[in-house]
Structure 1
Amino acid sequence: MAGQITLLSKREIEKMRVAGSLAAQLLKHLESFVKVGVSTQSLNDEAERWTQSKGARSAPLGYGGEGDRPAFPRSICTSVNEVVCHGIPNPKQILKNGDILNIDVTLIVDGYHGDTSRMYFVGEPSPLAKRLVEVTEKCRFLGMEQVKPGNRLGDIGAAIQEYAESQGFSVVRDFVGHGISNIFHTEPQISHYGDWGEGKKLRPGMVFTIEPMINEGHYDVKLLKDKWTAITKDKKLSAQCEHTIAVTQEGYEILTPYPY
């Protein structure tokens, strides 16, 4: 990701709404499939079936492949417990009671991307796991509340970091939110930690993701041998949630609203 920040037109943002809405619908659809005893591969397979039935495409499937890192081999990311992000669905990975799971989806509709993720509980979560997820969701909300013309990119991260750390958790540094349009990852990069008043000013037409990854323990992460899966270095829990949002004249619009 490098270069200028592109401001999207009303027509382009409408296309982002369509893609974003469908991505959120997929997360809702998968809700009933997340249960004790199912494999993360089966969730991927159901996501593929549903996506194809809607005439959309998965952006992660085949993404990347530069250098010594292979292309991403699945259609969704499934990150369980200590997996911070980019977990690869696997037929041997069976969900157990008490697991927490992040499913991250990005769909392409008419050339534009809808990128969103949410947490799921498998069976009954521990009180700590439940609190971590609640804090992560509030971090995303507090970050979004900083989005308005004239505020700065750093305000988003500062709000997230301030709250997460006040709750005894930490904010992952290694991964960021990103601009998104008809290109999967563009400028600006959205750090989920930082200082108030720093960074570029927000302007109407900017579209980007806010996707804080909040760890139970330390923020350090480790990349596994598959070159994709990132886990907490201390093996403690991690949670993430994500929306794609647009900066409007008055504030922000969620382009991936969850269909409750």
Structure 2
Amino acid sequence: MFRKNIIIKGIITCETGLHIGDSSDTVEIGGSDSPIVRDSITGFPYIPGSSIKGKLRSLFELSDPESCQSIINNAKEDNDVIVSTCIDCDAVKLFGTTPENIKDESSRINFKTRLLVRDAHPTDDTIEMWKDNDQLLKGVELKWENTINRITSKAVPRNIERVPKGSEFNFEIIISVYDEDEDVNRIIKKLLLSMYLLQNDYLGGSGSRGSGQISFNHIYITERDRSFYLTGEEKDPLFKDVSFETLNIDLLL
């Protein structure tokens, strides 16, 4: 039975240019070689929740010695997919797993995700900043790079779209907690550690070439139990307007 939701929200700040690529079915004359994902209504860039969640899971698994990574192999004889993963580690408990065509009966367990990550859309101040900058087109800068052939030394120029440094996006993460869930506080602390690690990693593409450094700011953490959804009365937040530089994760919850 549902017990509560834990809400983590705040601001994602681009410390460098950010590139989260979009697949384009058309080639436009004068268009970018590597476009970024945009909102189909406003035309402005946004950060997909799937990109944030995928990166957090990767860092969660890498930083937690008790959680394993999923291993996907192609079983050629039957063209089945074999997913090898633990069934009770914290990564699976939080992010979930959906095995398909599992041959091992002990692995035929479907874990529903407890984690919801919403798309992060630009703040109003960021949109105004983009509009006031004549060098940007709908909040996008064009970064030129060169691919150099090491044998012939021939340079092949290319360009990628990026969200400019200083842009800010509203983010929201929701963790659903149910009566049967155990050690919730420990798992949430590990999630926050993954968010902190992301600040020293990168989000999106071209991270090894300078893109994708972000920070989480003005972090707000609160709990909403069943009574909130019946009465609308909000409890005092657990933390308000903090950053990971000031937030002691060990003392949380």
Higher relative contact order by CA 8 Å / sep ≥ 6: 1 or 2?
2
TM-score normalised by the chain length of structure 2: 0.25
